[in-house]
Structure 1
């Protein structure tokens, strides 16, 4: 900063000193006794111009390099501080105030604005301020009378700048808030792209994004108008001062004995003041924008959370036993303070014992887990561990003693090894493998191409639901916690895997205190205590053996519901022959887990344009193409362009002709400041520069072609310098952008999964990874600063042509080939051209072009599966006949793994078909292919006898209703989430009817805001079962011809599942249904059950037929389910 400031001051002083030398040059031309003496005097002043130019070059290089580097470093530091502060906050902060999209938007967009404000713009402002005050000093020193009169125009300009800065600052703050809201829309849309695509919600998302941009757009228009008025006022003041100076200067020459050089000194110096003020004005706009962006970020950075993850205060014991006690706990979520979740809840859990929490969805089971983790603090009562209030422990330390496996497993982009070791960074490979074996994950990991080093993608997208859950269990096991919290830990597992994992968990929980939340009562029978919750209170508790003694008790009723469901599913289990089916070999065991999250569907690398092309596309975006995007603004663009051409391009060169006799008053440069990138001032600047170039060369060559030709030799050098600089910048910007994308992904994953990060006390791990990813872009930014600084320094050296023009002009005057007035006319026009072609905007312009290159790459990408394409067939009536004919398929990101080898399956209209099979066998892939998230590599899929590729994509998807294992809700009201099923076009009565069928209406009606309740980001304000029922209501509302259920009832408690299953049975009776489930109660009534293995169907038939096939795959599955 010190060197940058010194360079900026030196650079700023060069222009007042140039005014002095210009005055000396006029006196050298006009005060010489002879032409030979004139050449000698001009030569001496020209040499001084050279010395000054060298100083300017050094100052420019220091100014640009140092301040750009400072901006890069400070921006990186602010990003780290902000992410650190975000990860420090309590969970309630994310529920109430912060959304992932907004946070990431601030880390990328706002830090760029701050960097712009505290980086090179500071250097420019110091330079302009120094030039402003330096000009005043020179003017008053050379002629105070003339300077005093001309200064009368300066206060209005300063007042205008001050008022407009204040207005722009307020508007910028509003803009940042609006853009942050828009970023949230983008984040939740792209983060839920399968749901968006399934419900043909692309148009809804675009319209919502447009609405979120309307406010900042209108504000931006007003901001541009105000900024234009401000700049116009300053320019007007400059020309008024010019006019007064020329008029009054001539009076002083005649009456006060002023020399022409003195008058030029004063006019040039004060003209520079106005010009510096005008060019410094955009810096004020940048400061205002940066200040507004910084305010919100530093508000978060300075915020002290109520539950501080980084606090070193609190108790740290040698170890804990693991006794847990809830003492008269009352709790409500911060977003719904009037809705009490726990009401006087009391429960004691002795160390080393297992307590199971059961009850209906929303009864408070997962809330208890959150309180033990201290994600929240109760409003009343206490949560005690070993008799010590949880609030008294050091938070990081106590969380290190607790392991958590949640209902919806959260994994991070990286390798399997890194994810298992997430809770224990120092774990050895042997320890990691042992944990994987205990979690029944080692076998499928070993089958992966890279084993434990296999990359699993964002959110673990490369793994099936069951595989992800087993990785999450292995992660918790490796942590070796004293307290283990299992929130539906085996809900995503098939019967076989559940049994093996449950045995492993039984071994693990034997040594530690364990709290289990489960809907499947088979997983809690061995618990020392089972507590039945209802409306936030315990209505019954005791061991399984005691609770079942009361046939009318709540637990017994739950058992009865599940047992009756099981008997309905396979009534022949009481048959000794059926029960004696042998426990099948490992190869024949059936894993019914669904592959809920498949690889991302946004980009298929087999398309003609691959994702890599987004990152590596050449920087070949023309200004004309950008202009075409602004057709609605063409009237304003034409008016602004004419102003740019007339004022900037023609006025200054022509002014040299109109004032040639005095050779004074010409403004030497028009350096249009860069405010908002390529689409704003850069477009006007390009037109202005073009007009200046044409008009300037025309005037110069008409005036004196010899002198103009000599002066023109500098332009090839200037353009070559700019070209080389732009190439360097383009390379650095492209590399930095790719690396910053990786850093942003780490931040986005951490923020969106902050509960998992907090649970494993992994904040420092995340920050370390983020800093590592930011190191490359930071170094690239510093190199960029050096390149830009060198470029500016080399360009400043071209001011040596001032000396060359005057010296050559003097020689031509000596030889009688030109006159003094023509020399100054040529000088003024060439100076205007040189300043207009300045590369001072190269850095910002190139950065802007780099950014829009990736945007146009996406816009131009031609997708093979395009939901916006209106071509293709549509049918008046859909019967619902579906056929898979010899389908072969592998995911583009894993071409070596074939999912389907030869899939053949016919589904008749209004028939229900269930798919079961091993984890990763392709059950969810079949659903994805049917929705055309992908196309098969060979074979075909038919709907009513026609290839689905022939149908219009959006129309095809509108015929389907989809419910996935992990329900995706949007950060909106419950009403809006249900109405999403009909793209928002529905009545209140239809919404209520769908909610009633999905058994969610009563719950919603009990909420203070009812259907207007905001569900939070990804539905965080609802329990897993509540989210699932809202998702079911969304699908029911659509009344689809084809229903796709991928573990649709896996998150429901027994009572809700029964009611919802009845609703689904009613819905499926009117449509074609494809069901993926490992809960056999869901598929017992299916018209056809197909067992998938090794990419083909090995067995299919009705339930009653399959269970009688001795040693059959399905029958063996039922036997295993029964024994479990």
Structure 2
């Protein structure tokens, strides 16, 4: 099957809803023939189906053969003895398994009385017409029913997969309404299907009953004129009755057959589709090995769903074996599309992608992908253990190899702390792990593969500063003697690379080692600026230190003499020692509870901004989840305006909060529908455009062929990571929340977009209580309060200036500042 890229610059756009509906309706009219449904059956399938068919025929033959017995019984009244009758019944029983109801019935009827059977046969054309018309309607109705049930299933899967986003924006009712909409369609088609079944069966039976009246009248004449016996008439009549009734009773089965034919058409269409890029294709060259030279030669590319918009426009790029090149540019400029072309998720419409001078189309697809390691911006983990997720890169890997790869990716430390270690289940899409943890596992998976070519698509964007530094060092080690393509927008990520390429609107605007040199020269200036900034923030702390030391000496003297005087009073009350001891023990017990300090004890006043910083998995995003009441704390309390949030209505509480998560979740709908998802009242076009402009999304949306009516695809796959994040920010802004929760809201954006979006966020944060989870200090320096978390505890808190003035030796926040201030 062909793969689909999900990188930063995947700008293909789905068809609009009307086109999809028309296509679905057209597909609903198509079906395969009855015999074609079994064309993929193997020998065992054929054998089992033949055996079943024989059994069905034998089972169906029992009823018409009974008519022979019944007719003979009628004729034998008063002639045969009881013993003769029992003997005949016994003999007849051996023949009950040899024919089918329909054909057996008419064969017996023609054998026993062909004149009467021929008269009754005149009803068959009418029965056939009624059955054919019924079957035709059933095919159409069943196809619509399958489509409606499929759409309803998609809503369920989409809602459960993004349940946090759904409940955060109080979208449960909207999801239920959408589900009901498609279920109502299925319900209506079910009713129509029942009516069609009833009409078909009623038509068949009405014809049958008319033919029965004719048969009784004509049978009487045959008894008088032709010497037919009553038993013969009954045999013919009941045989035709059973045969024709079997045909009438088969009418409901047409529904199942029709559904099978319609479903088989779509299934076989998928099975027999011949994609341009087929991972199961065994053709192509298999080399002994590759050196790793990569070349893009005059490449032009557009996504299949947007043929009128070029993503890559005449791009030429050369990467020598063993060298590392960075591709930088704005969000949506085509960076990740280059990665997709090298991985051969897509083929360019013009130009060539060469590896070691060989067109990648001529190399066996699975083999070349084994030589390429990919770490994407949004890590994809499967619902299995950590060990199995890492082994996905190499199925026969040993535990030692897995642990070594985990250590290189800075994942071993947190994995070893988990109760089940490498056997820990990560949950659906890695839901049990933080963003940084998921990314490190993805990096370990790529390292385990030991690829010749390494593709890093914002591989460290989700990590905190310290983890990013360690992982970047690990990546720097494993990039040695490997050809590496790095998509990034941070200077720290690309400063040591061999070459830097700037891409804008699918074109290379600049590439040279001199560009890297210029950027490297600029970095020390940035470092000096950061150092000077830190010194400025520290102010005249040295002078303050001397004054604090002098003041502390005075305090020490005062405390000393106070203790001396207090000890005299204590000695005078020694007689009360016994009672005092009991009181003391009681007081210790009581005040240990009253004065117990919570591991996380922080408050945020109305309109203030609280920033949460710390290492990956320190508990930052968990606090966001607790505020949104995705979970309730095991102990302690969370209050809003002095009221414990457990006592508040959950839907009302979430309406007061706007959440922008680290990994944006969009629904398979239009951009407009995704933006308005956060607001249940009527939204005007002006409001939608206003929030899109505020989140720096309006420009790229306006550039799309369908604009705000563009369908983003499942999980927003038709948009780049930065574009998805901006739509998610617009969705939170339109909600006009009292509390804004930003969980790494700008981490997926390039530098320029991040600056613009951060400016927009700064504006919307005014007069709102805001909780910001971040690891880039420049995004939180203006926060009213900064809380530093470590292993689920607040180790420091205060404003930026206060935390710097504290001058805690090896303090957590000071360490972060120092790390940011180092020249990169």
Task: Return the TM-score normalized by structure 1.
Answer: 0.62
Task: Tell me if 1:14 matches 2:62.
Answer: yes
Match of 1:1117 in 2: 816
Shift of 1:971: 1.6
Match of 1:1089 in 2: 786
Instruction: Check 1:561–1:411 CA distance in 2 against 1; reply closer, same or farther (3 A cut).
Output: farther
Structure 1, gaps ≥5 residues long: 60-126, 579-884, 889-899
Task: Tell me if 1:997 matches 2:694.
Answer: yes
Task: Tell me if 1:1073 matches 2:806.
Answer: no
Match of 2:557 in 1: none
Instruction: Check 1:930–1:39 CA distance in 2 against 1; reply closer, same or farther (3 A cut).
Output: same
Match of 2:133 in 1: 163
Task: Tell me if 1:232 matches 2:202.
Answer: yes
Shift of 1:184: 2.4
Matches within 5 A, 1:333-732: 333-543=303-513, 547-548=517-518, 572=536
Shift of 1:420: 0.7
Shift of 1:211: 2.9
Matches within 5 A, 1:6-405: 6-28=54-76, 30-32=77-79, 37-48=80-91, 50-51=93-94, 56=97, 130-405=100-375
Match of 2:32 in 1: none
Shift of 1:573: 7.8
Contact 2:311/2:505 (<8 A) preserved: yes
Q: Secondary structure at the match of 1:540?
A: strand
Shift of 1:915: 1.2
Q: Output the CA distance in 2 between the equivalents of 1:540 and 1:1100.
A: 44
Matches within 5 A, 1:933-1012: 933-983=630-680, 985-1012=682-709
Instruction: Check 1:235–1:339 CA distance in 2 against 1; reply closer, same or farther (3 A cut).
Output: same
Shift of 1:1000: 1.5
Q: Secondary structure at the match of 1:1075?
A: strand
Shift of 1:144: 1.6
Q: Output the CA distance in 1 between the equivalents of 2:213 and 2:656.
A: 74
Instruction: Check 1:964–1:566 CA distance in 2 against 1; reply closer, same or farther (3 A cut).
Output: farther
Shift of 1:981: 2.0
Q: Output the CA distance in 1 between the equivalents of 2:391 and 2:535.
A: 44
Q: Output the CA distance in 2 between the equivalents of 1:403 and 1:479.
A: 7
Q: Output the CA distance in 2 between the equivalents of 1:568 and 1:238.
A: 99
Instruction: Check 1:169–1:450 CA distance in 2 against 1; reply closer, same or farther (3 A cut).
Output: same
CA RMSD of aligned residues (A): 2.6
Shift of 1:423: 1.2
Q: Output the CA distance in 1 between the equivalents of 2:204 and 2:497.
A: 79
Shift of 1:295: 0.3
Q: Output the CA distance in 1 between the equivalents of 2:427 and 2:135.
A: 46
Q: Output the CA distance in 2 between the equivalents of 1:496 and 1:261.
A: 97
Shift of 1:886: 11
Q: Output the CA distance in 1 between the equivalents of 2:452 and 2:516.
A: 28
Shift of 1:506: 0.7
Aligned residue pairs, count = 723
Structure 1 residues 661-698: Cα deviation after superposition (integer angstroms, max 9, x where no partner): xxxxxxxxxxxxxxxxxxxxxxxxxxxxxxxxxxxxxx
Q: Output the CA distance in 2 between the equivalents of 1:886 and 1:26.
A: 99
Q: Secondary structure at the match of 2:682?
A: coil
Match of 2:798 in 1: 1101
Match of 1:78 in 2: none
User: As a proportion of its length, which structure holds more helix?
Assistant: 1
Structure 1 residues 18-73: Cα deviation after superposition (integer angstroms, max 9, x where no partner): 11011122223x242xxxx5423332233345545xx55xx8xxxxxxxxxxxxxx
Contact 2:679/2:734 (<8 A) preserved: yes
Contact 1:1100/1:1106 (<8 A) preserved: yes
Match of 2:556 in 1: none
Q: Secondary structure at the match of 1:423?
A: coil
Q: Output the CA distance in 2 between the equivalents of 1:16 and 1:562.
A: 95
Q: Output the CA distance in 1 between the equivalents of 2:628 and 2:309.
A: 39
Match of 1:1026 in 2: 723
Q: Output the CA distance in 1 between the equivalents of 2:499 and 2:659.
A: 38
Shift of 1:957: 0.6
Instruction: Check 1:561–1:463 CA distance in 2 against 1; reply closer, same or farther (3 A cut).
Output: farther
Contact 2:538/2:801 (<8 A) preserved: no
Q: Output the CA distance in 2 between the equivalents of 1:250 and 1:951.
A: 84
Instruction: Check 1:561–1:299 CA distance in 2 against 1; reply closer, same or farther (3 A cut).
Output: farther
Instruction: Check 1:239–1:516 CA distance in 2 against 1; reply closer, same or farther (3 A cut).
Output: same
Instruction: Check 1:379–1:570 CA distance in 2 against 1; reply closer, same or farther (3 A cut).
Output: farther
Instruction: Check 1:497–1:887 CA distance in 2 against 1; reply closer, same or farther (3 A cut).
Output: farther
Shift of 1:560: 11
Q: Output the CA distance in 2 between the equivalents of 1:471 and 1:1089.
A: 29
Contact 2:74/2:230 (<8 A) preserved: yes
Shift of 1:17: 1.0
Structure 1 residues 713-755: Cα deviation after superposition (integer angstroms, max 9, x where no partner): xxxxxxxxxxxxxxxxxxxxxxxxxxxxxxxxxxxxxxxxxxx
Q: Secondary structure at the match of 1:907?
A: coil
Q: Output the CA distance in 2 between the equivalents of 1:44 and 1:268.
A: 23
Shift of 1:921: 2.4
Contact 2:497/2:516 (<8 A) preserved: no
Match of 1:1043 in 2: 740
Contact 2:696/2:756 (<8 A) preserved: yes
Shift of 1:202: 1.3
Q: Output the CA distance in 2 between the equivalents of 1:417 and 1:575.
A: 50
Q: Output the CA distance in 1 between the equivalents of 2:634 and 2:520.
A: 58
Q: Output the CA distance in 1 between the equivalents of 2:332 and 2:664.
A: 16
Contact 1:886/1:903 (<8 A) preserved: no
Shift of 1:215: 3.9
Instruction: Check 1:333–1:1088 CA distance in 2 against 1; reply closer, same or farther (3 A cut).
Output: same
Instruction: Check 1:305–1:910 CA distance in 2 against 1; reply closer, same or farther (3 A cut).
Output: same
Contact 1:887/1:903 (<8 A) preserved: no
Q: Output the CA distance in 2 between the equivalents of 1:23 and 1:276.
A: 20
Q: Secondary structure at the match of 1:1085?
A: coil
Shift of 1:349: 0.7
Contact 1:562/1:1054 (<8 A) preserved: no
Contact 1:541/1:547 (<8 A) preserved: no
Q: Output the CA distance in 2 between the equivalents of 1:907 and 1:475.
A: 40
Matches within 5 A, 1:680-1079: 902-983=599-680, 985-1079=682-776
Contact 2:537/2:804 (<8 A) preserved: no
Structure 1 residues 1029-1057: Cα deviation after superposition (integer angstroms, max 9, x where no partner): 11111111111100001110100111111
Q: Output the CA distance in 2 between the equivalents of 1:562 and 1:283.
A: 76
Q: Output the CA distance in 2 between the equivalents of 1:562 and 1:152.
A: 97
Q: Secondary structure at the match of 1:531?
A: strand
Q: Output the CA distance in 1 between the equivalents of 2:700 and 2:525.
A: 21
Shift of 1:467: 0.8
